[in-house]
Each structure stands twice: as C-alpha cells, then as structure tokens.
Amino acid sequence: MNYEGKGSAKGVEGYIPVTGGKIWYKIVGANRKKIPLLVLHGGPGAPHDYLEPLEALSDERPVIFYDQLGCGNSDKPSDKFLWTVERFVSELEQVRSYLGLDKMHLLGQSWGTMLAVDFILVKKPKGVMSLILSGPCLSSSRFASDQKLYLLELSDALQKTINESEMSGCFDSKEYQDAMMVYYKIHVCRLDPWPDCLNRTLEKLGHEVYEQMWGPSEFTLTGCLKNYERVDLLKEISVPTLFTCGCYDEATPSSTAYYHSMLPGSEIVIFEGASHEHHLEKIGEYLEVVRNFINKIENR
C-alpha cells in the first residue's frame, strides 16, 4: 500500500487527484499488516463521518475512508455531468490505484453498495477479497416500492403532509421536514439523539450530488439512479459477499434477503431493533460480524 498523506493521531490523511477534482482520504491503522478495508459511504453525497465506528477494525488492518467528489472534505465542483455511476466507479478505481491496494476488502453502505457492486461487475477487479454490503439498494424500483409501503405505516396526517409536498415539489416547509424526521427516526437511525458523526455527515452533505443522482427526497426518485437494477447480474459476482441490514431498515429485510438469494454463496445478517444505520445502532454486534466475516475469508 502506497500513500503520501499527512500523519496524525487520527491517521494518515491526504488528497487524491481524480476525474473532476481532488478527493480527501484517511487511513486509520496504516501500519497494520492485515489486508486493508476500503469503505464506501452512502448518499450519494453523504461523506464518511457517520461510518467512523469502523475505525475500530484498524486494530488488525488499515481502514480507509474517502469522501467522494462533491461532498465532505473533497472538492465540490458545480458540474452535474460529473455525477454519474460510471464516474464514481472510475473514481474508486483511481483511489485503489493511487493507494496501491493490490488486495483489499470492500465495504459499501447504502449508495456505497451500488457503487461497490458496479465496481465488481464493470471493472472485474482482481484482489478484492470480500464484499460487505450494508443497507443495500440493488434495485431502485424495489427500494421505491418498499418506501411507499413504509409510508403507509405512518399516521394519516403524516402521510397527507408527505404526499402533498412530494406532489407539489415543496420540500422546504417545516411541516414536511418534521414529517420526514418521523420517518427517518424509524427507518434511518433510531438513536435519540443522533450521534455526532451522523450529524456531521448531514452538515457536509453534497446536496447537488444527491439530487442529480437520486432526487429531491427518498420518496421521489428522478435522478440517474432511477433505472439502477442489478439483481439479475448478482450471479456474476464470485467475491465472497456479506449482506447486512436492520429489521426496520430502508433497505428492508425482505429486499436484502432477496438480493442474498440471488448471489450464490453469499451470507446475510439482520440486526434486531436497528434500521439503516445499524452500524451505529448496534456498533459492537456490527463490528463483530464484519470482523469475523473478513477474518474467515482470510483464513480460508
């Protein structure tokens, strides 16, 4: 592994030139000897901060984070033509090449699972030892349908507020924001209050990236990901794969189990009492599951 970043007590940090600008990265446990873990954040445009609990795995191996272009500590060019799945796949390849990651484990969360799967399918990389897909979205149509079912579980008043705002395109009202927060506290993060690392991610969110790729809200899918469907291609993935989700996850247990069923030899773990941010809600359990899976693959 090669890097020229600035070292500190928090790890090695630096910048990587990629198509469209420079992106920030951090390596925790850079001197550890086991195969590195590269972490892909969600969003699109939700920087790495909320995934900080994964730093605990650096007691055995380097854990690498980076903020994708357009969010967090990375450059934020105003060019909507940069916000494509293809460019982010190329960016991931550029990160891997720059850091000299001949072998690595790859963990994606939410949108990061879409990025990870396309990286495997398109680049067919050698040296990816395992794939961890947390809160996976591998079918946009299925994800959208799942959210509509969740919406029906809210009160009639909340449903009315959300539906009217979605239809009118008015997403800024306090009533809509309050209604969405009820949904978020059930299906995105059930902790109260939300942890600092998650709040930092939201403060540094790349809104332009999210809107261009997904849409104006979780329920309104208008971006370039609206036709993202990879379920039928999962059988082409030969990398050992672990799926994780929470039992209240936006990435529902039924959809996650379906993806698992379509990828031969994959494993699945569903965390009770948790939602999309199950790595925050069940930190100890989640880290143990990921650690054991990675070590099992290495010890084969």
Round to whole Å and give the CA distance between 133 and 125. Answer: 17
Round to whole Å and give the CA distance between 196 and 198. Answer: 5
- Residue 112 makes CB contacts below 8 A (sequence gap 6+) with 39, 40, 41, 42, 134
Active-site residues, by number, are: 110, 249, 276
- Classify residue 77 as exposed, middle or buried by CB count within 10 Å of its CB (0-12, 13-18, 19+): middle
DSSP codes of every residue in 156-214: HHHHHHHHHHHHHT----HHHHHHHHHHHHHHT---SSPPHHHHHHHHT--HHHHHHHT
| Two tokens, residue 55 | 């730093």
| Two tokens, residue 153 | 């579980």
